Structure 1
């Protein structure tokens, strides 16, 4: 029984997961009208530009709000780690310069997947008394 599950996991973490991730990313890319390309100015103005502004406090000094810098730092810390930085170096060393193209494709698809994930999280979030 264990060998069956091991074979299934090895199969799923091969070509099928690559097809599913890329397919879902391209589906959202086309469905949103290339959001990550055409709304790049808005994305930068809401993240990078607000970090640079002096006194980058969140609008409305209410309870539970964080500054744009804190939001971006948390998002980057959760998404990019030492493993990803080492992964790029390993890919370049093992796969050569062609691996950089696939890293760009993965980043392009990953942007829209992250946007869809965050949008769904915001849509379905619930506030409680705490």
Structure 2
């Protein structure tokens, strides 16, 4: 187990490491920790470490047969979902869903340049 004060890491397979770094740092507030493009990059936002693995990285090796890809995604909290949507649309990004509302809050999905899902989530106010 890792200590609770360490970063939580998620690996995303990407087609173009530089495009992915630009997407996450320019639009979603991540900071670049390591750039080993074209193979790999490491970006962080708060306690989240996102490992961006290109085709030449060891992380991009084939997934074992029978492993199903799901609808997993990075879940980012935002304070004002409507403002974030407007900001990202102004930057030329498009979304994979409409805003969905539920008892816990509102969310919308977009994709990074490789098609990985990113959920922007605004918690409901009590």
TM range (shorter): under 0.3
- State the TM-score, normalizing by the size of structure 1: 0.24
Q: What TM-score does the superposition give when structure 2 sets the normalisation length?
A: 0.25
Compare CA radii of gyration and give the structure with the larger one.
Answer: 1
Structure scoring higher RCO (CA < 8 A, sep ≥ 6) equals: 1
Higher helix share: 1
